[in-house]
Amino acid sequence: MPAFLLVTVMTAFRVLARNRLRAGLTMLGIVIGVGAVIAMVGIGEGAKAAVRRQIASMGTNIIVILPGSTTVGGVHGGQGAAVTLTVSDALELKKKVPLLTDTAWAKRDAMQFVHGNKNWNGAVNGISPSYLTIRDWSYTSGGPITQADLESAANVALVGQTVVDNLYEPGEEPVGTIIRIKNMPFRVVGVLAPKGQSAQGSDQDDIIFVPFTTAERKLFGSKFLGSVGALFASTERPDELPEAVEAIREVLRVRHRIQPDQPDDFTIRTQVDIGQVREGMSQTLTVMLFAIASISLLVGGIGIMNILLVSVTERTREIGVRMAVGAKRRHILAQFLIEAMTLSLVGGLLGIVFGIVGAQAMTVLAGWPTIVSPQSILVAFLFSVAVGLFFGLYPANKASRLNPIDALRYE
Amino acid sequence: MGALISCQDVWKIYRLGDVEVQALRGVSLDIQRGEFLAVMGASGSGKTTLMNILGCLDQPTRGQYWLDGRDITQARPDDLAEIRNRDIGFVFQNFGLIPRTSALENAQLPLFYRGLPLREQRERATAALARVGLTGREHHYPAQLSGGQQQRVAIARALVAAPALLLADEPTGNLDTQSSREIMDVLERLNREDALTIVLVTHEAEIAAYAGRQIVIADGRILSDRLKRS
C-alpha cells in the first residue's frame, strides 16, 4: 500500500510537470480562492486585534458621553451648539451613580506650540486629573497633572511622544522645560508613554494635556466656563457597563430637564459599542470574502474536473494497459483521485503562499494590520484537498469504469 | 496435471442494437504447458476475441474456459484482474508502454499492482530486462528506445510476474523485418529455455512459422489445428 501511494503520487507530479502551463491554468481558481481567504482573514483578524488593542489602550470599562445627539449613521450632531455637558454634570454623576469608579472631563482644540526654535501644530486637550487614570495613561518621565494644578489653573503640560519627537532634540529631557502654547509659557511636568495608532488610524501620541481650567480660561477663550467637550466615566467591571449607562442617562435627563418624549441631548458610548461596530464591519468583510473564495474554489474545482476528463481521454490506452496487467477498478480510481488532489493541493499551497504575501503587502502598502492565523491556513489546506477529491471523483470514476478491451483498442 | 488452458464450446455473442454478432461459435481448444501456439486468421475472424477470452479480459457468453484448473466463467472483474496480474503476460502490437516512464518502471508495472515492496519490484524488473537483453537501458524512456527495444521492454513486463501464459497480439505488427526477427527470437528462446507457454495471434505466415502449433480461425470457428513438422 505505501509503495502504491508513493509511486502514484510521484506519477501524479510527473503528469503535472509534463504540462506545466496547463496545470498552472487549471490551478488558478484554487490559488485565487485560497489566497483570497488567507489574505482577507488576515486583514479581518488584524482589524479585530487592532480594535482589541485600541480598547485595551483606551482603558476597559470606559463610558464616553458626548454632547448632542447622534443622527442616523452615527454622525454626531451639534457639538458646541449649546451648553449641554458640564463639569458639574460630571461631579453629579460621580455622586449619584455609585457603580462609577470615577468620572472625568475634557475639551480639546487645535493650536500651535513652540519650543526653542521648533514648532508643531496639534491638539491640546484640557483635562481633569481623573482623565489620566480613567484613560490609563502612564509616563516615561515626570508625573501627572494634579488636582492642585486643576484648582489653580496652573500652566503645566503633559506631552505625548510624537510632540516630543518634533519639538525636542533626541536625548533632550522635556520635563522641566518651557513650551509656549498660544504664546503662553507652560512648564512640562511629564512625558506620556506611547500608545501608538488608534483603531481609527490617528496618532494617539500627537497630544498635549493641560489642566481643564487652564485650557478653558486661558487657551480656548470659552464663553461658557464649565462646558466640556466630552465626559468620561468608568466602572469596575465590563458587565456593569449597561447598568451604569442607564443610570447615567437617567441622571443627565433629569439634570438637563429633558421631557419624557424628548430625545437625549447627549450620546453615551462604551468601548463595547465601538468594538461591535468594527466587528460588524469585519463580519461583512468576512462574508464577502467567503463568497469570493467559494466561487473561486468552485471555478477551480470545475477546472480540475475538466482537465482530468481530458487526461483520462488522452490516456485511455494507458488505462487499458494498466488494467490488462492487473489494475483493479479501485487502483485506477485511486490513481486519478490522487492526481486530482495533487493538482488541488499544489494550487492550495501556492494560494497559501500568495495569501500570506498578499496580507503582508496590505500591511506594508495600505497600513492595514494583518494577522495570518494558522487555523485559516489549515482550513484552506483541507479545503484544497476536499475540492480535489470532490471534483476528481467523476473523472476518476469514469476512468475506472473503462472496459479494458475497448480502452486498449482506443486510437 | 491437466492442460494449462481448456476451452469447451466457447461462444461469444455481441449485441449491437438489434443485430447479433457471433464472434466465436463453439470453439474448443486445449493448450498444454510449454506449447508455442500461433492463432492465424483474417480480420474479423474472431482471433482477437479468442485472445481476449484466453487473456481473461473478457468472458464467454456460453461455454467454459478453464485456466490452470480454474473455471474462469465464474470469476468477477476483480478476480479476472488478479488472474491477469499473476498468470498472464500481455504483449501488444503497439507495445503499450507508458510514456515518459523508464523501462524499469514499465517492466515493474504488474508487480506494482501486486503490492510488492519497491526494492523487490526493481530487482525482478531488472532481471526481466536482462532476460530480454536490455541490461543497461533500465532508465531509458520509451522515446529513447527503438521499436524492437520497446517491444522487448513489453516482453520483460509480461515476464516479470512469472506468469503461466504469455499472450502476444501481433507483436511484430509495428516492427521492421530485422526487429521482428529479433522479437520472435526472444519469444522462441523463452519458450525453449523457460518452457513459457506462448499464444501468438498473427496474420503473417512467416511469424506463425516460429510456433510449434498453428490454429487457423475463420468465422468464429477453428478451421484447422496443425503441429509444425520439424
> Is there a contact between B41 and B217 (Cβ–Cβ < 8 Å)?
yes
- Report how far residue A280's alpha carbon sits from residue A292's, in angstroms, rounded to the nearest whole number: 19
- Report how far residue A268's alpha carbon sits from residue A261's, in angstroms, rounded to the nearest whole number: 18
pLDDT at A42 over 90: no
Angle of helix A316-324 relative to helix A329-366, nearest 10 degrees? 130
The β-bridge partners of B21 are B14
Facing residue for B81 by CB, picked from A7, A318, A328: A328
Considering all CA atoms of chain B, what is the largest pairwise distance in Å, rounded to the nearest integer?
55
Q: How much is the mean pLDDT over chain A?
A: 85
- For residues A323-333, average pLDDT: 95
- Report how far residue A333's alpha carbon sits from residue A317's, in angstroms, rounded to the nearest whole number: 16
DSSP 8-state assignment for residue A367: -
- Report how far residue B160's alpha carbon sits from residue A297's, in angstroms, rounded to the nearest whole number: 44
- The alpha carbon of residue A320 is apart from the nearest alpha carbon of chain B, in Å, by 9
Predicted local confidence at residue A369, as pLDDT: 73
Residues of B in contact with A325 (CB under 8 A): 84-85, 90, 109-110, 113, 157
Chain B residue with CA closest to A329: the answer is B78
Share of chain A above pLDDT 70, in %: 91
- Report how far residue A382's alpha carbon sits from residue A344's, in angstroms, rounded to the nearest whole number: 10
Facing residue for A405 by CB, picked from B57, B85, B114: B57
> Is there a contact between B89 and B191 (Cβ–Cβ < 8 Å)?
no
Residues of A in contact with B57 (CB under 8 A): 324, 404-405, 408
Across A46-60, A240-254, B130-144, B180-194, least confident range: A46-60
- Report how far residue A46's alpha carbon sits from residue A43's, in angstroms, rounded to the nearest whole number: 5
- Count of C-beta atoms within a 10 Å radius of residue B8: 14
- For residues A123-150, average pLDDT: 90
- Report how far residue A322's alpha carbon sits from residue A317's, in angstroms, rounded to the nearest whole number: 9
Predicted local confidence at residue A197, as pLDDT: 72
Of the segments A76-90, A365-379, B175-189, which one has the largest average pLDDT value? B175-189
pLDDT at A70 over 80: no
Query: What residue has cell string 498472464?
Result: B88
pLDDT at A77 over 60: no
CB contact under 8 A, B55 and A324: yes
Substitution target from B50, B52, B54, B57 for chain A, most A beta carbons within 10 A:
B57
Pairing of strands B213-218, B36-40: parallel
Substitution target from B58, B109, B119 for chain A, most A beta carbons within 10 A:
B109
- The alpha carbon of A41 is separated from its chain's Cα centroid by a whole number of angstroms, namely 10
What's the grid cell of residue A291? 463568497
> Is there a contact between A17 and A284 (Cβ–Cβ < 8 Å)?
no
CB contact under 8 A, B117 and A404: no
Q: Residue B172: which of B161, B191, B185, B190 has the closest Cα?
A: B185
* Cα distances (Å, whole numbers) of residue A70 to A109, A177, A263, A269, A278: 21, 42, 10, 11, 18
- Report how far residue B132's alpha carbon sits from residue A116's, in angstroms, rounded to the nearest whole number: 97
Q: Residue A19: which of A350, A343, A320 has the closest Cα?
A: A343
CB contact under 8 A, B84 and A7: no
Query: What residue has cell string 531509458?
Result: B140
Chain B residue with CA closest to A335: the answer is B113
Chain B residue with CA closest to A15: the answer is B100
Predicted local confidence at residue B57, as pLDDT: 93
Identify residue A204 by its one-letter amino acid code.
Q
> What's the pLDDT band for A73 if we cut at 50, 70, 90?
very low
- Count of C-beta atoms within a 10 Å radius of residue A401: 10
User: Does residue A317 belong to the interface with chain B, where contact is any CB pair within 8 Å?
Assistant: yes
B174-210 pLDDT, tens per residue? 999 999 999 999 999 999 999 999 999 998 899 999 9
Sort A20 into a burial class: Cβ within 10 Å, 0-12 / 13-18 / 19+. Answer: exposed
pLDDT at A231 over 70: yes
- Report how far residue A199's alpha carbon sits from residue A54's, in angstroms, rounded to the nearest whole number: 6
CB contact under 8 A, A325 and B52: no
Chain A residue with CA closest to B102: the answer is A11
> Is there a contact between A337 and A311 (Cβ–Cβ < 8 Å)?
no
- Report how far residue A175's alpha carbon sits from residue A191's, in angstroms, rounded to the nearest whole number: 7
Predicted local confidence at residue B230, as pLDDT: 57
Residues A407, A408, A411: CA angle, nearest 5 degrees: 80
- CB within 8 Å of A373: residues ≥ 6 apart: A41, A42, A45
The β-bridge partners of A227 are A86
- Report how far residue B32's alpha carbon sits from residue B43's, in angstroms, rounded to the nearest whole number: 26
Which helix (H) or strand (E) segment is A74 a member of? none
Q: Residue B103: which of B143, B48, B56 has the closest Cα?
A: B143
Residues B174, B177, B180: CA angle, nearest 5 degrees: 60
Buried b (16+ CB within 10 A) or exposed e, A266-301: bbbbbbbebbeebbeebeeebeebeeebeebbeebb
- Report how far residue B20's alpha carbon sits from residue B27's, in angstroms, rounded to the nearest whole number: 18
> What's the pLDDT band for A200 if we cut at 50, 70, 90?
low
- Report how far residue A1's alpha carbon sits from residue B114's, in angstroms, rounded to the nearest whole number: 10
Predicted local confidence at residue A61, as pLDDT: 79
Residues of B in contact with A406 (CB under 8 A): none
Predicted local confidence at residue B25, as pLDDT: 93
CB contact under 8 A, B81 and A323: yes
DSSP 8-state assignment for residue B177: H
Query: What residue has cell string 502514484?
Result: A8
Q: How far apart are the first and last CA of chain B?
A: 26
Residues of B in contact with A3 (CB under 8 A): 112, 115-118, 121
> Is there a contact between B7 and B65 (Cβ–Cβ < 8 Å)?
yes
Output the tens digit of pLDDT for each of chain B's 230 residues.
Answer: 578 999 999 999 988 888 999 999 999 999 999 999 999 998 888 999 999 999 999 999 999 999 988 888 888 889 999 999 999 999 999 999 999 899 999 999 999 999 899 999 999 999 999 999 999 999 999 999 999 999 999 999 999 999 999 999 999 999 999 999 999 999 999 999 999 999 999 988 999 999 999 999 999 999 999 988 65
DSSP 8-state assignment for residue A106: E
